[in-house]
Amino acid sequence: DVQAGVVWGDLVKELDPLGLVPRVLTNNLGVTLGGTLSMAGLGVASFRYGAQGDNVLELEVVTATGDIVVCSPEENSELFDLARSGLGQFGVITRAKIPLRKRADENRTYILLYDDLRNVMTDAKRVMADGRFDFIESWCTPLPVGLKTDEGRRRVFGEWFFPLHVTKEFVDGKAPRDEEILEGLSPYRKCHAENRTALEFAFRLEPVFELWKRGPYWGATHPWMEVVLPWDMTFFYVDTVLKKLPPPMLGGGHILLWPCTGTTSNIPLFMRPKGEFLMGFGILPGVPKEYVEPVLEALDKASDAVNMANGKRYLSGYVNFTHEKWKQHFGEKWETVSAGKKKYDPKGLLNPGFILYE
C-alpha cells in the first residue's frame, strides 16, 4: 500500500534493504506513483511485466464528484480501468497497492553499439523472444560528420548510431559468461560490460540528469513526443523521421527506442498497436525558447505520421490533438472515455481542456 504522491525513487530506496523491488520502474525515478499509473508507466522491464499500470492490485481514487472509491479488477472495475492510463480525466489516484518481486544482488549490463537500425531491431527481438536478459533499452544517437549543401545553404548533417543496453540479474557473485549470453548477437561493436548493484542500476540515469541540470538543457523547453509502433512498421517510421530530423534540433536531448512485447499489457486505455512485438520511439529534445515553434511543427508532423504507420501516441509529453484526433487515438474506446467522463466528472473539473470531448 503506497500513497500516490510517493516518488518511485523513494519507494525503491525503502524497499532495497528488504531485497524487494517493483516489477517495472521508469527511467526517471523522480516521478510519482499516481502520475505514472495515470499514464501507463513504461520501463526497461516492460517487455516482461507490462506497464506499471499492469502491476497494480488495487487503487483508491477520488472522483470529481467527491467520492472516495476503492477499485480493483474485482471491485469497481470500471473505474479501475478508467484510472489506469486515464490521464487524470476520471479521478485522482490517491493510493495504490502494487505487487513486489525479490530483487537480485547485482546486474551485469552490456553496452552494444549498432550502425544499422535493422540490426538492432533483429537483436532486440531475439533477446526478447528467448528471455536471456532482464532489462532492455536502446537509443538513437546522432553523430555529426560535417556540412553539406542543402537547398542552397550549408547545413550540419550526420549519421545515426543505435546503442543497445541489455542487462542480466545475478546472485551470489555468479555473473553470466559474456560469450554465452551474447551468443548470436551481431553488434557493430561491443563497447562495455559492467556489474552494478540493484540499487545502482535503478538509479543508473541520475548522473545524466545531474549533468543536464548543470547545463542549459534542464532549463530549456521540453516538448517530448513519444509513440508506440507495430514492429513491422518501425524501420519505415523511425528511418523516415530521423532523416528529417537534423541533429542540432535535439538541443542536447536524446531519442529513445523502447523494444517491447505486445502481449504483456492489458490496460484498456493504454492505446497501442496489436502484435507480438512493439517498438516505442521518443523524441526528447531540450529546446531554447527561440527555436520552439519550428520544433513543434516538426513534432506535429511526426505525430501525424504515426497514423500512417498504424501506431499510437504515448501521451506523456507534448500533445496537440484536435477533437477528431482524440477520437482517432482512442478508436473503439472513445465511447468508453466519453461515457466515463460524464459519469465520474460531469462538470469537467479534472484536467480541463486536455482531451477535447466536443
pLDDT of residue 287 exceeding 90, the answer is no
Share of the chain above pLDDT 70, in %: 98
What is the rounded CA–CA span in Å between residue 165 and residue 142?
17
Query: What's the Cα-to-Cα distance from 12 to each of 152, 248, 337, rounded to whole Å?
Result: 54, 36, 33
Least confident of 209-223, 242-256, 333-347: 242-256
Please, which pLDDT band fits residue 234 given cuts at 50, 70 and 90? very high
Nearest partner of 224 among 350, 348, 315, judged by Cα: 315
Q: Look-up: residue for cell 546503442?
A: 163
Q: Look-up: residue for cell 554465452?
A: 180
pLDDT digits (tens, 9 = 90+) for 11-59: 999 999 999 999 999 999 999 999 999 999 999 999 999 999 999 999 9
**Residue-averaged pLDDT of the chain:** 95
Please, which pLDDT band fits residue 247 given cuts at 50, 70 and 90? low
pLDDT of residue 211 exceeding 90, the answer is no
What are the chain's domains? 2-102 (3.30.465.10), 106-314 (3.40.462.10)
pLDDT digits (tens, 9 = 90+) for 288-320: 888 888 889 999 999 999 999 999 999 989 999
What is the rounded CA–CA span in Å between residue 57 and residue 348?
28
pLDDT digits (tens, 9 = 90+) for 65-108: 999 999 999 999 999 999 999 999 999 999 999 999 999 999 99
Q: Do 24 and 55 contact (CB within 8 A), yes or no? A: yes
User: What is the per-residue pLDDT for 107?
Assistant: 98
What is the model's pTM?
Answer: 0.94
